[in-house]
Chain A
């Protein structure tokens, strides 16, 4: 399994009552699988994604990404682990506003420092139809273009896993389809996609759907689509 969440629980302890955001959830995503996580707002979808991405340590349970527990690593090692194994795509794109398209795509290479990163970045930019935009700033791009830049950035270090949080939330139908198609392709190429969404079209792309309700898995549907390897 590329993504394995086993009886994961996460509770937020603020000034008020503790809130159990994720309660004993177990999800597994194999290589080549595209899994959608759905549920009402506040059901714990994003928390689950952050826990899976090594950004938010669970209170209990076990997390494994590409057979490695990210929380067993030091903070710096975990950061590098994320850069090498996980690609993130967010609804708000989270592009660096003062960097060009090319530099945004290259941002993960700040960590890995690979020499051929620029070539790969240009190839990705070309693949997502942004060649004529590569020197533009995010503010000069359409929302669809921004999300494609975010996708290219997520793919730069050739990750094993993509975690996407509402990636089509701000996009029109055509752009949504492009993004989902790209995720599908990534899964088809042997990666694992865990997609948090409200979008029914996005769910349609997923091979399997996990429904969360009140922090717990309410239902799992669909066929597992496991990569041949």
Chain B
């Protein structure tokens, strides 16, 4: 027979004492494991909530950003179109152009070879975005008995060293005509109608709204057709250089200088301060779009921060609860087991007395009690772990994550026997030091 047999037999004999001790250990371990599982579940839940908030915020930011960018682009495009009228940023005129007449008439009168446009386009000037060669002249529209400005344009001339930009003035195809506001309203014309100009028939391509400028009495034709009508084949009388990077006055001077290098003798005029206004308008549109995006991002960041703070608060509350509950449960369990062990050692006084008398050493008696305590701890630890894990999983959070952590099972199965053995230590020591002579004399 071995001591372990004695331990098991005694447990079977005094089941209630054993079960009560197991209950005490189970409660303590269940509190510990339950709290740990709950905290673990809380962490996972918080991380999940933050992740979801982040995803929602990112989605919202993305959506807002896309909307803002779209709105910004629309705004910029609108702004670009609206400010197109301001577009004669730089005008290159023929060398012999009389500037006085030009200013007085509003249209150039001298010509220069069309090849100048090509030369300018092939030059390495990078400060000009759009090059538009035109022929323009004030003429009589005999069929309508009106004085009009006839402008021939072929649209933008691609610059050799740059990507093709979106053209500011649409190319007017041959046989088509674009009319200013006064012209189409006075003649009651609309797109698709046909008109006769100097005995040539044109289909109305487009009718411009009122601009309150010379554009209202301008008719735009295909460059070649206009040149032919005006007897100015291979000639142009102005090259418009639009959307120059000319945020400052000095910068315009630079542009003028650069053009002069390519086309010496030509006259370069800045058409007022319109470029600056246009750039500012576009910048404001861009800023407005950027601000909308930034606000969307800030809103997302706030959402995430709120979710994190909420999670942190929840975790702090739970940690506070467990930091009180677990030690109380441990101390309570310790006292409970100690009392039960003390009661058990008193109950077994006679038994221990005779076992000592027949030769059991104090160490064997100690093993007898501590062995029982270890079994109480192991059983209570296993039961407590199961209860704590289930309770923690159920109450912790509604998460699908696997909350099982081997370290808590190991902790429970190590801590519980330690707790039980520590609580039983003093009663076991008292029992092992029991004087058998005293017990036998009492009988």
Using a CB–CB cutoff of 8 Å, the interface residues on chain A facing chain B are 46-47, 50, 53, 55-56, 75-76, 79-84, 88, 90-92, 94-99, 103, 106-112, 117-118, 153, 165
B10 with A88: CB separation less than 8 A: no
Decide yes or no whether B13 CB sits under 8 A from chain A: yes
A76 with B3: CB separation less than 8 A: no
- Inter-chain pairs besides A76-B363, A83-B359, A90-B354, 11 sampled, C-beta below 8 Å: A46-B440, A50-B441, A55-B437, A81-B359, A91-B443, A95-B354, A99-B9, A103-B9, A110-B6, A111-B358, A111-B359
- The complex places the Cα of A111 from the Cα of B363 at a distance, in Å, of 11
28 A-B pairs, CB-CB below 8 angstroms? A46-B440, A53-B357, A56-B437, A75-B361, A75-B362, A79-B356, A79-B361, A79-B362, A80-B359, A88-B358, A90-B354, A90-B440, A90-B443, A91-B443, A94-B350, A96-B355, A97-B13, A97-B351, A98-B13, A107-B1, A107-B355, A108-B358, A111-B358, A111-B359, A111-B360, A111-B361, A111-B364, A117-B1
B358 with A46: CB separation less than 8 A: no
Which residue of A80, A88, A96 has the most chain B CB atoms within 10 A of its CB atom? A96
Across the interface, B10 reaches (CB within 8 A) one of A81, A92, A94, A98, namely: A98
- Nearest chain A residue, comparing its CB with the CB of B12: A98
Contact with A along B326-370 (1 / 0, CB 8 A): 000000000000000000000000110111111111111000000
A103 with B359: CB separation less than 8 A: no
- The complex places the Cα of A56 from the Cα of B359 at a distance, in Å, of 14
Contact with A along B279-300 (1 / 0, CB 8 A): 0000000000000000000000
- The complex places the Cα of A81 from the Cα of B359 at a distance, in Å, of 7
User: What is the minimal beta-carbon distance from A99 to any residue of chain B, in angstroms?
Assistant: 6
- The complex places the Cα of A98 from the Cα of B351 at a distance, in Å, of 10
Across the interface, B5 reaches (CB within 8 A) one of A76, A82, A103, A165, namely: A103
- Nearest chain A residue, comparing its CB with the CB of B2: A110
A99 with B6: CB separation less than 8 A: yes
Decide yes or no whether B436 CB sits under 8 A from chain A: yes
- The complex places the Cα of A88 from the Cα of B356 at a distance, in Å, of 11
Decide yes or no whether B14 CB sits under 8 A from chain A: yes
User: What is the minimal beta-carbon distance from A111 to any residue of chain B, in angstroms?
Assistant: 4
Residues of chain A with a CB closer than 8 A to B2's CB: 110
- The complex places the Cα of A110 from the Cα of B368 at a distance, in Å, of 11
- Nearest chain A residue, comparing its CB with the CB of B9: A98
Residues of chain B with a CB closer than 8 A to A92's CB: 350, 443
Using a CB–CB cutoff of 8 Å, the interface residues on chain B facing chain A are 1-3, 5-6, 9-10, 12-14, 350-351, 353-364, 436-437, 440-441, 443
With A50-B437, A110-B1 known as contacts, the answer to whether A82 contacts B357 (CB < 8 A) is yes
Residues of chain B with a CB closer than 8 A to A97's CB: 13, 351
User: What is the minimal beta-carbon distance from B435 to any residue of chain A, in angstroms?
Assistant: 8
With A55-B437, A90-B440 known as contacts, the answer to whether A96 contacts B357 (CB < 8 A) is no
User: What is the minimal beta-carbon distance from B3 to any residue of chain A, in angstroms?
Assistant: 6
Which residue of B2, B354, B355 has the most chain A CB atoms within 10 A of its CB atom? B354
User: What is the minimal beta-carbon distance from A156 to any residue of chain B, in angstroms?
Assistant: 9
Residues of chain A with a CB closer than 8 A to B364's CB: 110-111
User: What is the minimal beta-carbon distance from B367 to any residue of chain A, in angstroms?
Assistant: 10
- Nearest chain B residue, comparing its CB with the CB of A100: B9
With A50-B440, A56-B437 known as contacts, the answer to whether A79 contacts B360 (CB < 8 A) is yes
B440 with A82: CB separation less than 8 A: no
Residues of chain B with a CB closer than 8 A to A81's CB: 359
A110 with B360: CB separation less than 8 A: yes
Residues of chain B with a CB closer than 8 A to A94's CB: 350-351, 353-354, 357, 440, 443
For the complex of A and B, list the 10 residue pairs with the smallest distance between their C-beta atoms, beginning with the closest.
A83-B359, A98-B13, A94-B354, A111-B359, A56-B437, A55-B437, A106-B1, A76-B361, A79-B361, A92-B443
User: What is the minimal beta-carbon distance from A120 to any residue of chain B, in angstroms?
Assistant: 12
- The complex places the Cα of A216 from the Cα of B3 at a distance, in Å, of 41
- The complex places the Cα of A199 from the Cα of B440 at a distance, in Å, of 20
- Nearest chain A residue, comparing its CB with the CB of B3: A110
- The complex places the Cα of A46 from the Cα of B441 at a distance, in Å, of 7
User: What is the minimal beta-carbon distance from A39 to any residue of chain B, in angstroms?
Assistant: 16
- Nearest chain B residue, comparing its CB with the CB of A82: B359
A55 with B362: CB separation less than 8 A: no
B354 with A96: CB separation less than 8 A: yes
- The complex places the Cα of A111 from the Cα of B359 at a distance, in Å, of 6
User: What is the minimal beta-carbon distance from B10 to any residue of chain A, in angstroms?
Assistant: 5
B359 with A79: CB separation less than 8 A: yes
- Nearest chain A residue, comparing its CB with the CB of B364: A110
User: What is the minimal beta-carbon distance from A192 to any residue of chain B, in angstroms?
Assistant: 18
Residues of chain B with a CB closer than 8 A to A106's CB: 1
B357 with A88: CB separation less than 8 A: yes
B351 with A96: CB separation less than 8 A: yes
- The complex places the Cα of A92 from the Cα of B440 at a distance, in Å, of 9
User: What is the minimal beta-carbon distance from B387 to any residue of chain A, in angstroms?
Assistant: 29
- The complex places the Cα of A4 from the Cα of B366 at a distance, in Å, of 33
Residues of chain A with a CB closer than 8 A to B5's CB: 103
Residues of chain B with a CB closer than 8 A to A75's CB: 361-362
- The complex places the Cα of A46 from the Cα of B438 at a distance, in Å, of 11
- The complex places the Cα of A82 from the Cα of B436 at a distance, in Å, of 12
- The complex places the Cα of A187 from the Cα of B364 at a distance, in Å, of 31
B440 with A80: CB separation less than 8 A: no
- The complex places the Cα of A79 from the Cα of B433 at a distance, in Å, of 13
- The complex places the Cα of A33 from the Cα of B190 at a distance, in Å, of 149
- The complex places the Cα of A84 from the Cα of B360 at a distance, in Å, of 11
B361 with A80: CB separation less than 8 A: yes
B353 with A103: CB separation less than 8 A: no
